[in-house]
Amino acid sequence: MGREIVIGLVGKPSSGKSTTLNSLTDANAKVGAFPFTTIDPNKATGYLEIDCACKRFNLQDKCKPNYGFCRGGKRGVPIMLLDVAGLVPNAHLGRGLGNKFLSDLTEADCLIHIVDVSGTTDAEGKTTRGYDPLNDIEWLQNEIFQWILGNLKERWGSVRRKHIGTKQTTLETLRQQLGGYVANTQKIAQALDRIPNLPPLEDWDDEMLERVVRAFMDVKFPTVLALNKIDHPDADKNVSKIILKYPKSKAVLTSSITEVFLRKLAAQNFIKYIPGTEFVDTKEDIPDDPNLKPMDEKLLNRIESIRDLVLYRFGSTGVVQLLQAAAELLQLVPVFPVRNINSFGGGSGGGDAIFRDCILVKRGTPVVSVARKIMGDVTIAAIEGVGGMRVSEEDTVDIGKNDILSFKVVPGGRN
């Protein structure tokens, strides 16, 4: 199997990283209204909500994923989330927990920057009022930039000498230097392609080095903004400011604390709640539902205020959409490998259950790479798509295209 996709949650202390992690997973990461509640990174599985292939064939009843879930054609595909320690300005110089959290981030494929838009925490995560969260977006990006740049600059003299001495290509030298950030040659090439008329590496000055690092950051750490704590009365004006200033950034409005609360009440059968939607039902709404328990006045009032402040105003708590935004940024396509292309059965696990497996791959990936990701280094005899049509190895996957595949392997054949 290939490497798993990892989404990193970053942000200043007390912005709500751990709360967001908890809202999306079964994790129980420690949450606190004081900076540096999290020190060691928390890793947990979240579920990316997608339209399942079973829906296309009206086979929702038979769909039973090996991992994650499928509810009437809405499928939750496991995806790894990483919650790291809070970052403060000048972390790259060792402030706060310094570079520790930065190294914890290396395996992330993209970032979700959790921004506290309530204005109730300062740049260091301490309680305040009227703080402008616009600042946080700028300095956080800059910290990551300075961290990568600093690491590279520190060694640049010897890197350059070796590069000249060994007559390596620019790509090869950079791969050796940036490979530690879990970036393959392809990613580094992509970054370099973004710089027109790139001079030879031995001629790079400080400015060029900075441009290369910026380009690398864009490729290695594409970022979604989670504008969190929208339940707070001061959030609106801060949200507008951020969206005006960063119209091109992907931003999702969230209230993680609300999601955690609703999921908890749903687990205790006080409400019926469909995550990602505005629909919350209490015993008062559906008195005939035997599974629902009645709530006291205080809880009922809280639900009422959540509806008014979050659900009806924004359409949802936003956290389900947050993962979808990250998947869009990474251009992930869900692919369903099946053993039997006619029944969609098989895969790993038995019975007449269908579409048991689903993996996330980058759009444009050749189907043969998908096969390798799933089965490793085997010799593929044939690849079939829906209707038993042969699919050529070089053909690529996209949303709704070559996303249901059956791989025929040469028995015992290994490359």
Ligand X SMILES: Nc1nc2c(ncn2[C@@H]2O[C@H](COP(=O)(O)OP(=O)(O)OP(=O)(O)O)[C@@H](O)[C@H]2O)c(=O)[nH]1
Q: Residue 257: which of ligand X, Mg ion, none does it interact with, CB under 5 to 8 A by kind?
A: ligand X
Contacts of 210 (CB under 8 A, 6+ apart): 149
Nearer to ligand X, 170 or 254 (CB): 254
Cα dist. 35→2, 30, 115, 257, 293 in Å?
A: 36, 12, 14, 17, 37
Structure token pair of residue 315: 């359409």
204 binds, among Mg ion, ligand X, none (CB under 5 to 8 A by kind): none
Judged by beta carbon distances under 5 to 8 A according to partner kind, the member of Mg ion, ligand X, none in contact with residue 238 is none
- In the complex, the residues that contact ligand X under the rule CB under 6 A are 11, 13-19, 31-33, 35-38, 85-86, 125, 228-229, 231-232, 255-257
- Going by DSSP bridges, is the β-strand pair 280-282/69-71 parallel, antiparallel, or unpaired? unpaired
Shortest distance, position 104 Cβ to Mg ion, whole Å: 12
Q: Which of 20, 23, 25, 38 lies at the binding interface for Mg ion (CB under 5 A)?
A: 38
Q: Are 65 and 356 in contact (CB under 8 A)?
A: yes
Picked from Mg ion, ligand X, none, the partner binding residue 283 (CB below 5 to 8 A depending on kind) is none
- 25 binding partner (options ligand X, Mg ion, none; Cβ < 5 to 8 Å by kind): none
Q: Which of residues 70 and 80 has its CB atom nearest to ligand X in the complex? A: 80
Minimum Å gap between C-beta 83 and Mg ion is 6
Nearest 5°: phi and psi at 126? -85, 150
Q: Which is nearer to ligand X, 19 or 173 (CB)?
A: 19
Q: Which of 15, 18, 146, 170 binds Mg ion (CB under 5 A)?
A: 18
- Work out what residue 232 binds among ligand X, Mg ion, none; the CB cut-off runs from 5 to 8 Å by kind: ligand X
Our finding on whether 37 is near Mg ion (CB under 5 A) is yes
Q: Which residues contact 379 (CB under 8 A, 6 or more apart)?
A: 409, 410, 413, 414, 415
Instruction: Look up residue 153 and give its two tokens.
Output: 């600059």
Instruction: Considering the complex, state which of residue 135 and residue 343 has its C-beta at the smaller distance from ligand X.
Output: 135
Q: Supply the minimum distance, in Å, between the C-beta of residue 117 and ligand X.
A: 9
**How are beta strands 332-337 and 359-362 bridged, if at all?**
antiparallel
Query: 283, 293 in Cβ contact below 8 A?
Result: yes
Residue 338 contacts residue 406 (beta carbons within 8 Å)? yes
Query: From the CB of residue 66, how many other CB atoms can be counted at a distance below 10 Å?
Result: 13
What residue number has its CB nearest to Mg ion? 38
- Give me the residue whose beta carbon is nearest to ligand X: 86
Give which of 231, 225, 250 is closest to 136, Cα–Cα. Answer: 225
Which residue number, 35 or 347, has a Cβ lying nearer to ligand X? 35
Q: Is 23 in the site for Mg ion (CB under 5 A)?
A: no
Which residue ranges make up the site for Mg ion (CB under 5 A)? 17-18, 37-38
